Chain A
Amino acid sequence: MTSKQQGFLFMALGFGIWIAGFSLLYAVQATGCEFAWQQVRLLGSISSLHAALYGLFAAHMAGLLWLLAHCRRKLATTENGTSDAFLWRASACLTLAAIAALVWIGMALPLPSVCR
């Protein structure tokens, strides 16, 4: 992969993180229910399953925020109007969209019916 092709690769990275987060949230939810993690309470009322889900959410959000910063940095240092600038701009937009999509599915996280 030459440096030229990086911008192109990064177009897939934002939503790549999103889909990884999404799949992991679902996988951990299902596995946790199977092993009854929702009954193990941490800190007052939060179950360990909910805590794991919030943790996953936060980790992927952090990754996406870093990515956004990176794309914007790259965009700022690329000459305007070139195809590279186009690809970095697209990557930045896609990362932003992935952040919005993660927040959007994150709306479900507070729901109490984790395992039924």
Chain B
Amino acid sequence: MSEAVPIQDPIRLHKALDAVWRTPPGVGRLSAVNHTIVGRRFIVTAFVFFGIGGLLAMLIRAQLATPRGVFLGPEIYNQVFTMHGTVMMFLFAIPLIEGVTFYLLPKMLGARDMAFPRLSAYGYWCYLFGGAILIVGMVLGVAPNAGWFMYTPLTSRPFTPGINSDLWLIGVTFVEISALSAAVEIIVSVLKLRAPGMSLDKMPLFAWYMLVTAFMMLFGFPPLIVGSVLLEVERAFGLPFFDPNRGGDPILWQHLFWLFGHPEVYIIFLPAAGVVSTILPVFARREIIGYLAIVVSIVALAFLSFGLWVHHMFTVGIPHLALAFFSAASTAVAIPTAVQIFAWIGTLFAGRPQLRLPMLYILGFFFIFVTGGLTGVMVAIVPFNWQVHDTHFVVAHLHYVLVGGFVFPMLAATHYWLPHFTGRVPRVSLGVAAFWLIFVGFNLTFLIMHATGLLGMTRRIYTYDPANGWEWLNLVSSIGSFVMAIGLALFTVDVALQIRFGRRPGRNPWRAGTLEWATGTPPPSYNFASIPVVDTRSPLKQSTGLAVALAQGRGYLGFVRDGRLETLGVEVTSGQVEQVVRLPGPTYLPLVSAVATAVFFLAVLFQVYVVAVIGFVATIGTLLLWTRGHGDHADRGAMPIGHGKYVPSHGESGSSPSQWAMWIALFGDATAFGSLAFGSLYLAIVAPNWPPPQLAQWNLLLSGSAAAGLVLAAIAAGRSVSPTVLPHAAKRKRWLFVTAGAHSMALAALVGMAFGVPAPTEHAYGAAALVVLCYVALHVALGAVFALYGLWRSRRGFVSLVRSSDLMIGRAWHAFTAAIGVVTLLLLHAMSWTASP
């Protein structure tokens, strides 16, 4: 163990740090886990997908430019608009957010990386492979063709027999893994990996926005994943969840989809608003007003957005009282949105605003997004919605919100942070011309499209007759979209020129106050040569010499210890230093795991389920391999971090990032389970063609032993981490064995119960019961694996009274499994009860 001595010479310090943080060149790049690199990959890939989605949009507009267009036939058109929507929402917007966040967040928080660098890398590969599946499908002419919200029964086997819908379900679910892993990672990073002293109320607003957004992703994506799995199971094995003739209900899909789909819109908007809240004060040349009001309004917005989903279903035939709840909640979001808008306007008035290029895009954002918000209130009004739903009015509205509320801020962000990426600022700029082309083109396309919709043009039609009065409108829209496309092309050229020929201005060209500008530009692999103490919201405004001081190693951790990658972890609210977080360096493991996952998804796609099982086991196996070589064999106590301070390593802190990650991931898991339970009850209560022909006769012995096994496993796992047991290897071993054994018993009982489920392909009752049982059984099986894994870690000496992280994580899993298991058993009995005639 080398004693940590701060290195005062910037060059030597840089060399020492870079040696351990650097990503190897050549093929070694595939092992990159560093947030700067992974973030950049996400961003570049997302913009490539934006290009693809944009090309598809051009095809749509070319086809609709004139009545009776013959450019694309109906089949191709259906694939094109479905892929346009899917690419834009899942392969462009969400991944771009992830990329921007990975790149910026640690730098803004004063950390050297995200909390789980390998997880971000794994997420990136999942995104890339999942996106590739969709694009390859499109190139082969079998792209999904039922619209981006994939309504059943159109997407069920009888009406879409081909592989098209499977591609969507599997590709998108694969990509969603990256969204979920990013959600967990972002939450933990914001909560734990901040500069010392940065209490929650000193965080840059962007971090608040991302914290809230990540929570929304955590709760928003599981319903979609559950829905997709159910639909794929229906398509592959004939279990009827959405088939009304066999006790399923197509409306259930709509609930699950929009439970995700509405929050999705805010998941896309909030990070963009975070960008506005970051950039606008820089060009207003003063701090933002209403910090507290903004934090309050984003939290409110996040919750409200989970109470809106039925506004996409106003024409389904739901009673007025229910529609009115959702209509009211939908108009209510205008208020937290208005709070932010007026905070921004107030900031401009209070400052001395400067009209630089990023600011121009933000003005464009104001105009377009406010318009989209106003039409949003209109479509939230039930009777008006009955007229414009599924017309081009809604297409116009959604583009005003998405392009105004996301694309414009992202273009502003590109201009604003490009100097950070490249260290260069433009010599000459085409940016203003590009802006005006994009802005004018956009409004030309979509402003009049409101009228097209009001004149009765429904969406998703590949051609139309001349006599409807839509010809001029459509032609102008198409011309506008090409103007916009030219603008975007010019934008790309401008960016390329700046990357290649820009001049080097030195640090912090915009005179911003947030910490990311304290790193070198382009940023070094370790971000900060030493970690600052932060006691204000704009640290760079407070002390202009900060960047230099950090480079000279005058903050914390201005050295390399044991050749390890280290950053600091803090207490969640106060931001007091709490632990040294030791991070993993470059490794191929994320890529290996992602390949295993790809094997699983492709095997499911092509229905070779033996291979799918192998892929699944390989994924879990390689994920467990990630922990090899991590952790300590002996307690090492507090370590020096500089300035005479000592804190323990994360494994000994009792509050390690991985423990937080487990708890947070379980929230997502609980949401998935909740969606499944909701689906089952929904079918039992409202679906047509109930009661089922045959109810399950649950064997009380089986359900009893399942419950007993589950509870016993949870109790034993609890014992294994109690202070009397933890220090003794033999006692730990005993309780972990009991845990694994209890899980096996529960698993056997659950499998037994599954055999008692009446013909699952004949009625949704059996199908739902089977799926819920499988969900729990999977958790139990993994529980057994985790218990054995804990045993192995304990045997290898990674566990002690203070190094209990591994077992604590297991304990959380076992307790959660017991909880959902018991709820499932109750649910199964309740379903039989509501379903009995």
- Note whether A and B contact each other (Cβ less than 8 A): yes
Binding site for B on A (CB under 8 A): 2, 4-5, 7-8, 11-12, 15-16, 18-19, 22-23, 25-26, 29-31, 33-34, 53, 83-84, 86-87, 89-90, 93-94, 97-98, 101, 104-105, 107-109, 111, 113-116
The reply to whether A12 and B299 form a contact with Cβ atoms under 8 Å apart is: yes
The reply to whether A15 and B303 form a contact with Cβ atoms under 8 Å apart is: yes
Choose, from B100-108, B526-534, B571-579, the stretch at the interface.
Answer: B571-579
The reply to whether A15 and B200 form a contact with Cβ atoms under 8 Å apart is: no
Q: How many A-B residue pairs have CB under 8 A?
A: 108
CB contact under 8 A between A18 and B303, given known A7-B573, A94-B296: yes
Q: Which of B201, B295, B328 contacts A108 (CB 8 A)?
A: B328
The reply to whether A29 and B321 form a contact with Cβ atoms under 8 Å apart is: yes
* A3 CB to nearest chain B CB (Å): 10
The reply to whether B303 and A30 form a contact with Cβ atoms under 8 Å apart is: no
The reply to whether B299 and A89 form a contact with Cβ atoms under 8 Å apart is: no
The reply to whether B299 and A94 form a contact with Cβ atoms under 8 Å apart is: yes
The interface residues of chain B lying within 8 Å CB-to-CB of A22 are: 307, 325, 329
B27 CB–A CB distance under 8 Å: no
In the bound assembly, the distance between CA atoms of A15 and B322 in angstroms comes to 19
CB contact under 8 A between A101 and B319, given known A8-B200, A25-B325, A108-B328: no
The reply to whether A116 and B319 form a contact with Cβ atoms under 8 Å apart is: yes
* A1 CB to nearest chain B CB (Å): 9
Q: Which of A19, A83, A115, A116 contacts B201 (CB 8 A)?
A: A83
In the bound assembly, the distance between CA atoms of A53 and B321 in angstroms comes to 11
In the bound assembly, the distance between CA atoms of A22 and B332 in angstroms comes to 13
- 8 A Cβ contacts from B771-785 to A: none
- Name which residue of chain A comes closest to B302, CB basis: A15
In the bound assembly, the distance between CA atoms of A86 and B203 in angstroms comes to 12
In the bound assembly, the distance between CA atoms of A16 and B303 in angstroms comes to 8
The reply to whether B321 and A111 form a contact with Cβ atoms under 8 Å apart is: yes
The interface residues of chain B lying within 8 Å CB-to-CB of A87 are: 200-201, 573
B304 CB–A CB distance under 8 Å: yes
* B116 CB to nearest chain A CB (Å): 21
The reply to whether B322 and A30 form a contact with Cβ atoms under 8 Å apart is: yes
23 chain-A/chain-B pairs, Cβ below 8 angstroms: A2-B571, A4-B571, A5-B572, A8-B573, A11-B299, A12-B299, A15-B299, A15-B300, A22-B325, A23-B307, A26-B310, A84-B573, A90-B295, A93-B296, A94-B296, A94-B299, A97-B300, A98-B303, A101-B300, A105-B328, A113-B320, A114-B320, A116-B320
The reply to whether B325 and A105 form a contact with Cβ atoms under 8 Å apart is: yes
The interface residues of chain B lying within 8 Å CB-to-CB of A18 are: 303, 307
CB contact under 8 A between A34 and B325, given known A5-B573, A94-B299: no
- Name which residue of chain B comes closest to A105, CB basis: B328
The reply to whether B686 and A26 form a contact with Cβ atoms under 8 Å apart is: no
The interface residues of chain A lying within 8 Å CB-to-CB of B322 are: 26, 29-30
CB contact under 8 A between A104 and B332, given known A4-B574, A86-B292: yes
The interface residues of chain B lying within 8 Å CB-to-CB of A26 are: 310, 322, 325
Tell me what chain A mostly uses at the interface: helix, strand, loop, or mixed: helix
The reply to whether B300 and A31 form a contact with Cβ atoms under 8 Å apart is: no
Q: Which of A12, A83, A98, A104 contacts B328 (CB 8 A)?
A: A104
In the bound assembly, the distance between CA atoms of A22 and B248 in angstroms comes to 25
The reply to whether A19 and B307 form a contact with Cβ atoms under 8 Å apart is: yes
* A38 CB to nearest chain B CB (Å): 9
In the bound assembly, the distance between CA atoms of A98 and B332 in angstroms comes to 11
* A24 CB to nearest chain B CB (Å): 11
Q: Which of B299, B303, B319 contacts A29 (CB 8 A)?
A: B319
The reply to whether A4 and B328 form a contact with Cβ atoms under 8 Å apart is: no
- Name which residue of chain A comes closest to B308, CB basis: A22
Q: Which of B306, B574, B686 contacts A83 (CB 8 A)?
A: B574
The interface residues of chain B lying within 8 Å CB-to-CB of A7 are: 573
- 8 A Cβ contacts from B174-206 to A: 199-202
Known: A15-B299, A15-B303, A90-B292; 12 extra A-B contacts, CB below 8 A, are: A8-B573, A11-B299, A18-B307, A34-B685, A83-B200, A87-B201, A89-B292, A93-B292, A97-B336, A98-B303, A104-B329, A108-B324
The reply to whether A8 and B685 form a contact with Cβ atoms under 8 Å apart is: no
In the bound assembly, the distance between CA atoms of A4 and B572 in angstroms comes to 9
The interface residues of chain A lying within 8 Å CB-to-CB of B325 are: 22, 25-26, 29, 105, 108
Interface centre among B300, B571, B574, B575 (most CB of A within 10 A): B300
In the bound assembly, the distance between CA atoms of A81 and B813 in angstroms comes to 39
The 9 nearest A-B residue pairs measured at CB: A108-B324, A15-B303, A83-B199, A86-B201, A113-B320, A105-B328, A93-B296, A22-B307, A114-B321
The interface residues of chain B lying within 8 Å CB-to-CB of A108 are: 321, 324-325, 327-328
- Name which residue of chain A comes closest to B324, CB basis: A108
Binding site for A on B (CB under 8 A): 199-202, 292-293, 295-296, 299-300, 302-304, 306-307, 310, 319-322, 324-325, 327-329, 332, 336, 571-575, 685-686
- Name which residue of chain B comes closest to A97, CB basis: B300
The interface residues of chain B lying within 8 Å CB-to-CB of A16 are: 303
In the bound assembly, the distance between CA atoms of A116 and B324 in angstroms comes to 12
The reply to whether B296 and A90 form a contact with Cβ atoms under 8 Å apart is: yes
The reply to whether A83 and B575 form a contact with Cβ atoms under 8 Å apart is: yes
In the bound assembly, the distance between CA atoms of A15 and B299 in angstroms comes to 8
* B775 CB to nearest chain A CB (Å): 21
In the bound assembly, the distance between CA atoms of A26 and B319 in angstroms comes to 11
In the bound assembly, the distance between CA atoms of A89 and B343 in angstroms comes to 18
The interface residues of chain A lying within 8 Å CB-to-CB of B324 are: 107-108, 111
* B466 CB to nearest chain A CB (Å): 40
The interface residues of chain A lying within 8 Å CB-to-CB of B573 are: 4-5, 7-8, 83-84, 87
In the bound assembly, the distance between CA atoms of A97 and B199 in angstroms comes to 24
CB contact under 8 A between A107 and B295, given known A30-B685, A86-B201: no
The interface residues of chain A lying within 8 Å CB-to-CB of B319 are: 29, 33, 113-116
- Name which residue of chain B comes closest to A25, CB basis: B325
In the bound assembly, the distance between CA atoms of A105 and B321 in angstroms comes to 10
The interface residues of chain B lying within 8 Å CB-to-CB of A104 are: 328-329, 332
In the bound assembly, the distance between CA atoms of A93 and B296 in angstroms comes to 7
CB contact under 8 A between A34 and B686, given known A83-B575, A113-B321: yes
In the bound assembly, the distance between CA atoms of A52 and B9 in angstroms comes to 72
* A116 CB to nearest chain B CB (Å): 5
* A113 CB to nearest chain B CB (Å): 4
* A72 CB to nearest chain B CB (Å): 15
The interface residues of chain B lying within 8 Å CB-to-CB of A15 are: 299-300, 302-304
In the bound assembly, the distance between CA atoms of A16 and B307 in angstroms comes to 11
In the bound assembly, the distance between CA atoms of A87 and B574 in angstroms comes to 11
* B213 CB to nearest chain A CB (Å): 14
The reply to whether B574 and A105 form a contact with Cβ atoms under 8 Å apart is: no
- Name which residue of chain B comes closest to A18, CB basis: B303
In the bound assembly, the distance between CA atoms of A108 and B327 in angstroms comes to 9
In the bound assembly, the distance between CA atoms of A8 and B409 in angstroms comes to 29
* A115 CB to nearest chain B CB (Å): 5
* A31 CB to nearest chain B CB (Å): 6
Q: Which of A19, A84, A116 contacts B303 (CB 8 A)?
A: A19
The interface residues of chain B lying within 8 Å CB-to-CB of A93 are: 292-293, 296
* B245 CB to nearest chain A CB (Å): 20
In the bound assembly, the distance between CA atoms of A116 and B322 in angstroms comes to 9
In the bound assembly, the distance between CA atoms of A34 and B834 in angstroms comes to 11
The interface residues of chain B lying within 8 Å CB-to-CB of A53 are: 321
- Name which residue of chain B comes closest to A16, CB basis: B303
The interface residues of chain B lying within 8 Å CB-to-CB of A8 are: 200, 572-573
* A16 CB to nearest chain B CB (Å): 8
The interface residues of chain A lying within 8 Å CB-to-CB of B574 are: 4, 83
In the bound assembly, the distance between CA atoms of A105 and B293 in angstroms comes to 22
- Name which residue of chain B comes closest to A31, CB basis: B685
In the bound assembly, the distance between CA atoms of A115 and B63 in angstroms comes to 43
In the bound assembly, the distance between CA atoms of A93 and B339 in angstroms comes to 13
- Name which residue of chain A comes closest to B328, CB basis: A105
CB contact under 8 A between A83 and B329, given known A15-B300, A30-B685: no
- Name which residue of chain B comes closest to A15, CB basis: B303
The reply to whether B329 and A101 form a contact with Cβ atoms under 8 Å apart is: yes
- Name which residue of chain A comes closest to B303, CB basis: A15
The interface residues of chain A lying within 8 Å CB-to-CB of B320 are: 111, 113-114, 116
In the bound assembly, the distance between CA atoms of A25 and B328 in angstroms comes to 13
